[in-house]
Every structure is written in C-alpha cells, then in structure tokens.
Amino acid sequence: MSTTVVYIVYRVVYIVYEVEEAAVSPKSFLGEFEQMVLLAILQQEKKAFALDVRREIERSAGRSVSRGAFYTTLERLERKALATWSEEVPDDPHRSGPLRRFAVTPSGVEALRESRRALDALSHGLDNVLGEVG
C-alpha cells in the first residue's frame, strides 16, 4: 500500500471520528492540554508568541511541552474557533521576521469558563481528599 493511500485512509478515519464525536457530544469540554494552552495565551497577553506560550506552560505547569503536541493543539483550537492568530513583528531584536501572535477568542474564554465550572462542581466537597488549592 502506498504512503498516499495510507495517509488518505488515516484522514478519512480521523474525519469520521471527529464527526462521530460531534454527534455524540454536542457540548464537549476542553482537554487538559487545551486548557493549559488557552490559559498560557491569556497569561502572555500581547507577548503570546508560540515560544513564549510554550515557556509559560513549562514554567507554570512544570512540564515540558513538545513542539508537535503544542502546534497540533493550536491548530485544533483554531479549528474550533477558540483561538486565533495574527502575524506580527515582535519587539525582541533577537527575533527576525514576523511571528504568529495568538489570542483567545470570546468562545475560547467561554469554553474555559465552562470547563472551570464543571471541575468546580465535580470537586465540590472534596477538599478533605484533594487538599486545598494554593
């Protein structure tokens, strides 16, 4: 089987999966990493270039972030209309050429709120098990 055929089969399976997910779960919550990416974009505000966002996740969450997972998640968030980007020239003189600056859309902020409400509701009354946040 040629590489092209394998790729086409993979894409068809992926699209079918996405359609089935949308049909089964019309209101889906954000995944953990999607939440981290959106929150890091919000934290970085005007400096939300990809490298800065990745560094914010690594610093705040204490975990390394692979480029592949990061850019795949950004693309998925853009497809879901939860994040957007614009091309800008950063103030940092060590960076050359325009870069993508990311922003969270109003729908992205609402998705974060919904995820937060769900987690708060599920964890309500579990401080004795989970401990206090902070």
By 3-state DSSP, what share of the chain in percent is helix, strand and coil, each rounded to 5?
65, 10, 25
Question: Furthest-apart CA pair in the chain: how many Å?
Answer: 56
CB 74 within 8 A of CB 41: no
CB 31 within 8 A of CB 80: no
pLDDT of residue 13: 57
pLDDT of residue 35: 97
* 42, pLDDT greater than 80: yes
Please state the pTM of the whole predicted model.
0.74
- Other residues' Cβ atoms within 10 Å of the Cβ of residue 104: 21
Q: For residue 87, what is the DSSP state?
A: E
pLDDT digits (tens, 9 = 90+) for 54-92: 999 999 999 999 999 999 999 999 999 999 999 987 677
